Amino acid sequence: MPAHVPNAGLSRRDLLKRTGSLAALAAFTAACGGNTGRPSSGGGSGGSKPNLAQWYHQYGETGTQQAALKYAKAYPDANVAVQWTPGDYDAKLASGLLSSKGPDVFEGHFNISMVKSNQVVALDDIMADVKDDFQPGDLATNTLDGKIYGIRMIIDPQVIYYKKSLLDKAGIKPPETIDDLISAAKELTTNKVKGIFVGNDGGNVMGGPALYSSGGEYLTKDNKPGFTGDRAAQAFGKLHELYASKSVLLGAPTDWWDPTAINQGLVAMQFIGMWAVPGMQKALGDDIGVIPFPKLDAQAKPAVYSGGWTQFVSAKSANVDAAKKFVKWLWIDKSEYQEDWSLSYGFHIPPRKSLAAKAAKLQSGVAADTVKLTQDYGYTDNPAWTPKMGTAFTDLLTNVIKKGADPAAEITKAEKTVNGELTRLFG
């Protein structure tokens, strides 16, 4: 730098002016950040009502966001601000739960590490009176050591929907075994239409159903890996066979959870959740049939993954009691909202037996068939199955399905990770 800086000296007034603007800048940057989605405490019509932040992931069906806002606004005892989260909700939620700036109330999927790291509070007190009105599987998936940590909001069975007309034309019966499914997919494939869409990753989403349809499970009752048998290896191998049959749609602009592929006639069958039924009916009318994920062979049963979303109360919330009260109000007391949430946008099974029984939209057609399949073959997540185990399982599937790796060797690799996690969690 040359030594003769022009105007290197600074008058007092200048100095004050400059430092003043620096201070303003600092104040501005301090004001940014800390957007929790919670209403700011100053002002508003709430008076002394507590403020609660409620987080949702972005539902695909139109009208859902407005509905969530409507419920929040209708709650009389707190100011509830809804944060609707497009994109990677799991990651956003995980970092939100690290601090007290996260949500008070949120939807998610239960696993043991949420309890181990003290992220959620037990809800037994508000669930006590209505426990019997929930399906045992939906309670079990949110229960750890006898305590219930979440309230199921919706049940989302995942099955295979197909276009009846295309199967009829080809003279094929709805597949009953995995081998049937593979040969049906092959026969239905033409140069314009692929047999089946199971996701752009080649079918990882069917890993769980394939495992359960072989008689296996993620973890056994006494928390040991349950995906290690020969039959599980055989089932994973079948997924590779399907992928390699060149009858699977890949690289679609939307993924498996969106019915666009089957609606646009890109495929004859699609693995997807019941939420897409209204969208498919709009595009295809009555030309839809449903099958569960087919059984591996005569020894086994088909499998339907009964997923969904669950409501939790954050342990880091400043208003745990108010948050619990709100959750009780919305997901236990206000049955008309629960019904609206399950049936007015996409189709989901209401978790409350009493509501499910009178859900008119689920009494007929393909929706009714799906509900029946879920009752017969549904399975829910094991809360001891952590995200890390899930990632190891996904890696197993990717290697087997796409790369054609030896299932037994991949199972051994995943087993190592899962055992490491089990040791960490249970000693």
Site string for other proteins, 247-286 (x = CB under 8 A): --xxxxx------------x--------------------
- Residue 405 binds other proteins (CB under 8 A): no
Element (H, E) at 53: strand 51-57
Q: How far is the CB of 140 from other proteins (least distance, A)?
A: 21
- Residue 9 binds other proteins (CB under 8 A): yes
- Residue 43 binds other proteins (CB under 8 A): no
- Given candidates 23, 24, 25, 409, which one binds other proteins under the rule CB under 8 A? 25
Q: How far is the CB of 84 from other proteins (least distance, A)?
A: 19
Dihedral sign, Cα of residue 46, residue 36, residue 143, residue 362: positive
The C-alpha atoms of residue 330 and residue 187 are separated, in whole angstroms, by 48
- Residue 387 binds other proteins (CB under 8 A): yes
Instruction: Say which amino acid occupies 78.
Output: A
- Residue 358 binds other proteins (CB under 8 A): no
The C-alpha atoms of residue 331 and residue 196 are separated, in whole angstroms, by 36
Q: How far is the CB of 202 from other proteins (least distance, A)?
A: 6
Dihedral sign, Cα of residue 145, residue 149, residue 151, residue 157: negative
The C-alpha atoms of residue 97 and residue 257 are separated, in whole angstroms, by 26
Which pair of tokens denotes residue 72?
A: 């929040």
- Residue 27 binds other proteins (CB under 8 A): no
- Residue 192 binds other proteins (CB under 8 A): yes
Within a 10 A sphere around the Cβ of 340, how many other Cβ atoms? 15
DSSP secondary structure letter of residue 349:
B
Which residue(s) pair with 49 in the sheet? none
**E strands along 111-189, which residues?**
143-144, 147-148, 151-163
- Residue 395 binds other proteins (CB under 8 A): yes
Q: How far is the CB of 374 from other proteins (least distance, A)?
A: 25
Instruction: Say which amino acid occupies 127.
Output: M
**Window contacting other proteins (CB under 8 A); options: 155-163, 208-216, 345-353, 382-390:** 382-390
Q: How far is the CB of 238 from other proteins (least distance, A)?
A: 18
CB burial class (10 A; 0-12, 13-18, 19+) of residue 235? buried
Residue with tokens 């089990």: 422
- Given candidates 183, 200, 228, 344, which one binds other proteins under the rule CB under 8 A? 200
Task: Report yes or no: 247 and 195 within 8 Å, Cβ to Cβ.
Answer: yes
Considering beta carbons, is residue 81 or 166 the nearer one to other proteins?
Answer: 166
- Ramachandran quadrant class, 294 (left: phi over 0; alpha: psi -120 to 50; beta: rest): beta
Instruction: Say which amino acid occupies 230.
Output: D
Site string for other proteins, 88-107 (x = CB under 8 A): x-xx--xx-xx---------
Instruction: Say which amino acid occupies 216.
Output: G
Considering beta carbons, is residue 25 or 357 the nearer one to other proteins?
Answer: 25
Task: Report yes or no: 214 and 300 within 8 Å, Cβ to Cβ.
Answer: yes
Which pair of tokens denotes residue 160?
A: 């295979």
Site string for other proteins, 109-128 (x = CB under 8 A): ----xx-xx-x---------
Considering beta carbons, is residue 63 or 420 the nearer one to other proteins?
Answer: 420
- Residue 302 binds other proteins (CB under 8 A): no
- Given candidates 402, 408, 415, 422, which one binds other proteins under the rule CB under 8 A? 402
DSSP secondary structure letter of residue 132:
G
- Residue 391 binds other proteins (CB under 8 A): yes
- Residue 85 binds other proteins (CB under 8 A): no
Q: Which residues bind other proteins (CB under 8 A)?
A: 2-5, 8-10, 15, 18, 22, 25, 88, 90-91, 94-95, 97-98, 113-114, 116-117, 119, 192, 200-202, 249-253, 266, 386-388, 391, 395, 398-399, 402-404, 413
